[in-house]
Amino acid sequence: MFQNRCPTALESIKIKKELSITCKVCKSLSIIENHEINALNIKINSNNDKKCILDIIKTLLSVKIESIKRSCIVCKIRSIGNVKKETIRKYPKYQFVELTKDIMDKKYSDIGINFLSSKDSFYVSQYFMPNVPYKLKGSAVHQRFSENRGHYMAYVRDQEKWCLLNDAHPIKE
């Protein structure tokens, strides 16, 4: 229902991705999938190494390339070393990031990501043209306790401070 009333608002948050395969034998490029997503989902495991949120987002926005074994749809030859490539073709005006963490053990309640206070914008020019600046203003976090239970929180930037909005606990800065 929301989609029918606000199509332009939804278009401003869509990321358009393309999946292609280049044949090692005949060098033909086949686009096998085009799809749209509304948010980048970052899965956080219970590891101890702290990560910079911007590095994680840059990794998600980068072109992903892997070598696969597959039959070419043009030359029909099955070969190892075909190149599968995932490329973002359109960046949204507003980039939404969702952090998801499975926490069955209470000792891993920290989300494991450092939110930055000063270096909060970056350019994705090395991944896509034209240069698209993003400023990190907030992040939604989902803590999954079991298959059917979880809790949403949000980190929101207010001036130079990050605030945790969590209805299960008082506000933290």
Q: For a pLDDT cut of 70, what percent of the chain falls above it? A: 55
Coil, helix or strand at residue 55:
helix
Mean pLDDT of 87-93: 79
Residue listed under structure tokens 């930055």:
116
Position 43 scores a pLDDT of 65
Position 128 scores a pLDDT of 47
Q: pLDDT digit string (tens) for 5-46?
A: 555 666 777 888 888 999 999 999 999 999 888 777 666 654
Say what the pTM is: 0.52
Instruction: Report whether pLDDT(66) > 80.
Output: yes
Q: What is the 3-state secondary structure (H, E, C) of the chain?
A: CHHHHCHHHHHCCCEEEEEEEECCCCCCEEEEEEEEECCEEEEECCCCCCEEHHHHHHHHHCCEEEEEEEECCCCCCEEEEEEEEEEEEECCCCCCEEEEEECCCHHHCCCCEECCCCCCEEECCCCCCCCCEEECCEEEEEEECCCCCEEEEEEEEECCEEEEECCCCCCEC
The residue with greater pLDDT, 68 or 49, is: 68
DSSP annotation of 54: H
Q: pLDDT digit string (tens) for 124-147?
A: 444 444 555 667 777 777 777 777
Q: Which class would CATH give 2-165?
A: alpha beta
